[in-house]
Structure 1
């Protein structure tokens, strides 16, 4: 089972994410603590599970609806990380420093501050 976190405010206005085979485990609303000038100070975090076999499909769908700049979604199976940006998905073996570094570098180039590049290893 893959797990992930989506910040609801990261979705483009008018975006629709439907026909999903996922389980929402928790929804949390909290002050972000490290929002950039382009981001709201309060975020709605949606923690979810999705079957490993559906993770790549979900990642591709989410890459079509994320706002730019500076947003991403992280999904993780036991073996892989999928880091989703608008129009781009990074997929690498968990614990692979090169794969993570590539995703982090891309995130920085998209305006994600280092303090938000905090997905699990």
Structure 2
């Protein structure tokens, strides 16, 4: 299984964090919020397309994850998956429209293609 995609998985976005045990984790970052409720546990992972599909079954409503291979992006939401080109902003329209429709702020719909 080729783990050709890189992505950031936020533990708090999962309905069952045990799925992290099955992933190839490269780095872990915990945000610096003082209140533990506000902290995010972020995992930089190398994954295959099949693992992305499996993660899409465990993401909770109103969250998303994205994975990249060069400029090819896969963004997954609870019930939707989008593939688009990072460098061609015209290909972003449907994913931005969907993200906004479920209340994700524009500043969180930036899909960075860099690790932690």
Give me the TM-score of the superposition, normalised by structure 2: 0.78
**For the structure 1 residues 29 and 15, does the alpha-carbon distance in structure 2 shift closer, same or farther, using more than 3 Å as the test?**
closer
> 5+ unaligned residues in a row in structure 2: which ranges?
none
Contact 1:16 1:65 survives alignment (8 Å) = no
Alignment length (residue pairs): 107
1:118, distance to aligned residue in structure 2 (A):
2.1
Residues 94, 27 of structure 1: CA spacing in aligned structure 2 closer, same or farther, 3 A cutoff?
Answer: same
Of 34, 38, 42, 2:39 maps to 42
Matches within 5 A, 1:29-108: 29-31=30-32, 40-50=37-47, 54-55=48-49, 57-69=50-62, 71-108=63-100
Higher helix share: 2
The superposition leaves residues 60-79 of structure 1 with CA deviations (integer Å, 9 ceiling, x where unpaired) of 2122111112x111100024
Deviation per residue, 1:19-50 (Å, 9 max, x gap): 84x42111111147xxxxxxx52100010112
Say whether the 8 Å CA contact 1:59–1:89 is kept in structure 2.
no
Matches of 1:104 and 1:42 in 2, distance apart? 25
> How big is the alpha-carbon RMSD for the aligned residues of Structure 1 and Structure 2?
2.2
For residues 59 and 110 of structure 1, the distance between their equivalents in structure 2, rounded to whole angstroms, comes to 21
Aligned equivalent of 1:26: 27
Q: TM-score, length-normalised on structure 1?
A: 0.75
**CA distance, structure 2, for counterparts of residue 99 and residue 58 of structure 1:** 24
For the residues of structure 2 that align with 1:112 and 1:99, how far apart are their CA atoms? 18
Give the corresponding residue for 2:7: 4
